[in-house]
Structure 1
Amino acid sequence: MISLCVGIFLLPLCYFSTVSPSFPTAFYVDNEDAQSVPLHVNKKVGARLESHILELLGIENHGSGIRDEFATRFMAQLYKKTEEDFALNPAYRYLETGTPLPAADEKAIGLGEADTIISFLPRVISDRNAEGGSKLGFDRPEIPNEGRLLHAELRVSFENVSKPSLLIAKFQDLRVSDFSLSENGQFFVNITEVLNTWAANPSIRPAVTVFAVSKRSRRYPLSEFGKWHSFGIASFADSGHQRRGRSKRNVPNGRHYPDSSPVSFTTSKPKLPFVRKSVYGKECRRRTLYVDFKYLNWQDWVIAPDGFYAHYCDGSCSFPLTSHMNATNHAIVQTLVTTEPKCAPSTLKSMKILFIDYSRNVILKRYRDMRVEDCGCQ
């Protein structure tokens, strides 16, 4: 069998096959000539690999289809601002916009610090309540596990050119706040303290009344100025790095995988004995591992990216260690005794995924240590 040590952070120790099957694959790896080739697996093994990845991402359930284009476009702008290789899933490329994210919005949301950004949509309880405003209700916010709320805001936009001069928000505790106007023409108001109050008090039904103020300082419901859209944004920072180990999850959609043991594949060279040295007989370095979301059938709920290069480390760490092996000082000393250094990641990089959750809200989440940047003997 040929061993590819993908289990460093993404999957268990796997034995892969490059024998051509009759169905497409979601995984691509290096072959002996350092060329990317499809990693072919049967349906059962493919399902188990998918289960491992979902468990790693911490996604129990997911939805499909967006509920509000305005909110999703804004989230796509956030994703574009943070990812160098910006590429939306082909099914969602209509969301791309040439309008840059205003710097003030980026700073307020805490884009650089945030590990999770959640969009959520209000429902109209009353278009014109007794006070003459539009009353909006919200589902009770769910604070991510180990999450610390950085910032939350409510945004309102109008399709008509004629807009109100000002928006005013009135909350259940009678607190009143004026909306500000963003460079992109959206009104927004900070609701960070309000969101914390809603989350901490189950007896409160989250709601806010919004007044549209005319140039003559008269208050109206939002509909007085034509069609409007509203959504909320909340950003969170992890209190610590992502846990490397996760508890066994319940797989959604009625799927069940009987075990999570390492996945094995027969190879085109079954007589080759399993040995710890590199499968290519070459020095330790980074190898290709690409995961294509389309062939996992994730294109209906993962907005971006359409796949990612996880990569992995493989190769020999034989004595004497050369500079090309990127060896640590400890690894060099280790070669003087019997224990052989291992080829492992020396630099890891995070990645972000923009996806639709089970409530059909759009989530932008950062996953730490998901991509191998460099490998070395350790």
Structure 2
Amino acid sequence: MSGIRDSALCRFFLIFIINYLLINDSIKQVFCEKSSGFYVDNGQQTVMHAVTKREKRDIQNEILEFLDLPEKPLLKNKLPSPKNSGLEFLIDVYKKNLNQSDQGDDFDNSEDKYDSDQNKNESDFPGLNSRVANESDVIISFTPQYRKFSGVTNRRGKKLLFDMSEVPYDAAIIGAELRFYRSLKIKQKKYNKPFKISAYRIFKTHRGTKELKLISSINKNMSDQGWMTLNVSAALQYWVRYPGENRGLYISIQPADKSVFEILPEEIGIVGVNGAPEKQPFMVGFFQTPDTDHKRYHRKRKNKRNKRSVSTFIDDEIPFYQQRRNVHSSDKKACQMKSFRVNFIDLNWQDWIIEPAVYEANYCAGDCDFPLHSHMNSTNHAVVQTLVNLLNPDLAPKACCAPTKLARLHIIYFSQDAAVFRKKKNMIVKSCGCQ
């Protein structure tokens, strides 16, 4: 009896070990396999697509290229606070774009929190003109650095210095704004009358002395609060044209009825660079870049890139995933949109790409065989071409499955001392058809 019990116990223990090894192997396959960051439609669901290091690098380089970046940005400083004012502004613009993307327009002309610089709501960003934002495909928020205005005495204003290195080399400047936040919660000192805020471009004369050139000014009442906007387009245009002349802006606050003395910004509740991150001053520039749909960027890479298309990348023979896709390889699929997703978190790019976390690129695949049904979104020419191919395959090829509707990709990323919002045309497939 004891031998029988021992034998049964051994069999049970052996079965347990085998099951453990099988389960443990599955766990390793599911949980221990490093995510590639790329996900494709296998005919039933979207699955992770195993890629080689070279393929991963190639697609990373393609993403960097359409962002006009030679390499992943090396951030000099720690990342700005999630409540950074300039970043919050771009996130608001990003969300506005997403809400409008289905209508094909990035912005509409309805009244919203961007339209007026007389806004009284402390959480609102004023001043953004719908036309300017709609025309821009690159919007950059510049974080200022305070600098002492050396060589000048009796000045109570502030000098702000901005790094312009992130401005695209081929961009047209549509406009630029300097934004300050005024809080009535900050205890007011000494002055309680209307005031004027002025922005001056600092320049050096041929004698070597520093002078001020007025760029913009606004008058405000003591009851005004929230975001206040100055048009500094002229300064940005000058700095981009003459980079060596960028000596910053000088911000002066004076009584509205007098110009004989200056008021310290903090004395009237203006939040400075050491204030709450979400209310610190920043400059925002609006730019328009040339259409690059049909050209490649001019810069060179250290390593020669592999010129393969996304469709070729997806069709590479990778045994584990190829086996899963071949289950239905005998079934002919009609032309349709399929999922292709790039996960920036899996690529470890979440430290500099803020939005979106996932890029839903999608692609078109399938056959355009006769008859072409209505759900295949066929063009009239595709129908004719299919008939010709049916009668004489040597005379005309089959119609091709291709995108019929494309959408912009909206993306926010950090680069050095700036946050950048870009709109890239024709980056997301929305529908497919036979053409």
Q: Same fold (TM over 0.5)?
A: yes
Task: Classify the secondary structure of the residue corresponding to 2:34.
Answer: coil
> Which secondary structure state, in structure 2, belongs to the residue aligned with residue 54 of structure 1?
helix
Give 1:179 deviation, angstroms: 3.5
The Cα shift of 1:176 comes to 5.3
Q: Give distance in 2, aligned partners of 1:203 and 1:178.
A: 25
Identity of aligned residues (%): 26
Aligned to 1:204: 245
The match for 2:408 is: 350
Amino acid at match of 1:29: V
Q: Which residue of 1 aligns with 2:89?
A: 74
Q: Does structure 1 residue 174 correspond to structure 2 residue 186?
A: no
2:270 corresponds to 1:260: no
Question: Where in structure 2 are the equivalents of 1:208-357 lying within 5 Å?
Answer: 208-213=249-254, 218-225=261-268, 227-228=271-272, 229-247=280-298, 249-250=300-301, 259-262=305-308, 263=313, 264-268=316-320, 281-335=332-386, 336-337=388-389, 338=393, 339-357=397-415
Asked if structure 2 preserves the Cα contact closer than 8 Å seen for 1:146 and 1:238, the reply is yes
Cα distance in 2 for partners of 1:313, 1:332 equals: 18
Q: 1:78 to 1:180 in 2, by over 3 A?
A: farther
Q: CA deviation at 1:45?
A: 2.7
Structure 1 runs, 4 residues or longer, greater than 6 Å off: 180-184, 269-272
Give yes or no for the alignment of 1:374 onto 2:431. Answer: yes
1:150-189 mapped onto 2 (5 Å cutoff): 150-158=174-182, 161-162=185-186, 165-172=195-202, 174-175=213-214, 177-179=216-218, 185-189=226-230
CA distance in 2, matches of 1:249, 1:295: 27
5+ long unaligned stretches in structure 2: 1-28, 102-111, 117-126, 203-211, 273-279
What does residue 232 of structure 2 align with? 191
Alignment of 1:22-37 (within 5 A): 22-33=33-44, 35-37=45-47
Partner amino acid, structure 1, of 2:137? D
Q: In the aligned structure 2, how far is the partner of 1:371 from the partner of 1:45?
A: 20
Shift of 1:232: 0.8
Check the 8 A contact 1:157/1:187 in 2, yes or no: yes
- Would the alpha carbon gap of residues 59 and 166 (structure 1) be closer, same or farther in structure 2, given more than 3 Å must change? same
1:38 is matched with 48
The 1:83/1:292 distance shift into structure 2, 3 A limit, reads same
Q: In 2, are the aligned partners of 1:127 and 1:222 still within 8 Å (CA)?
A: no
TM-superposed deviation, 1:201: 2.8
For 2:364 and 2:417, locate their aligned partners in 1 and report how far apart those are by CA, in whole Å. 37
Q: Structure 1 residues 325-334 or 346-355, which shifts more?
A: 325-334
Q: Distance in 1 between matches of 2:99 and 2:128?
A: 16
Instruction: Look up the SS of the partner of 2:85 in the other structure.
Output: helix
Q: CA offsets per residue over residues 152-178 of structure 1, 9 Å max, x none?
A: 011122566246844222234532531
State the TM-score, normalized to the length of structure 2: 0.68
Give the aligned residue type for 2:252: F
The TM-score, its normalising length taken from structure 1, stands at 0.77
Distance 1:248 1:176 in 2: 35
Q: What residue identity is the alignment partner of 1:54?
A: L
- For 1:83-122, list aligned pairs within 5 A: 83-84=98-99, 101-104=113-116, 105-107=127-129, 110-122=132-144
Partner-residue secondary structure (3-state), 1:111: helix
Q: Deviations over 1:6-41 (max 9, x none)?
A: xxxxxxxxxxxxx978211311221122x2121122
CA distance, structure 2, for counterparts of residue 126 and residue 137 of structure 1: 10
- Cα offset, 1:72, TM superposition: 1.3
State how far apart, in whole Å, the 2-side matches of 1:55 and 1:202 are: 24
Residues 376, 433 of structure 2: 8 Å contact kept: yes
Note the alpha carbon deviations across 1:117-143, whole angstroms, 9 max, x for none.
011122222179523321222334654
Who is 2:3 aligned against? Answer: none
Give the Cα–Cα distance (whole angstroms) in 1 for the partners of residues 218 and 89 of structure 2.
Answer: 18
Whether the aligned pair in 1 keeps the contact of 2:199 and 2:232 (CA below 8 Å) is no
Unaligned runs of 5+ in 1: 1-18, 87-99, 252-256
Give the alignment partner of residue 55 of structure 1, picking from 26, 41, 65.
65
State the Cα distance separating 1:350 from its structure 2 match: 0.6
CA displacement at 1:230 relative to structure 2? 2.1
In 1, Cα distance between equivalents of 2:330 and 2:360: 20
The SS at the match of 1:80 is helix
Contact kept in structure 1, 2:408 and 2:426, CA below 8 Å: yes
Which entry has the higher C-alpha Rg, 1 or 2? 2
Considering Cα pairs closer than 8 Å and 6+ residues apart, tell me whether 1 or 2 has the greater RCO. Answer: 1
- Asked whether the 8 Å contact 1:155–1:188 carries over to 2, the reply is yes
Matched residue pairs, number?
Answer: 338
1:250-305 deviation digits (Å, cap 9, x = unpaired): 36xxxxx5641434332348799x9xxx8851110111111111001110001111
Distance 1:285 1:238 in 2: 32
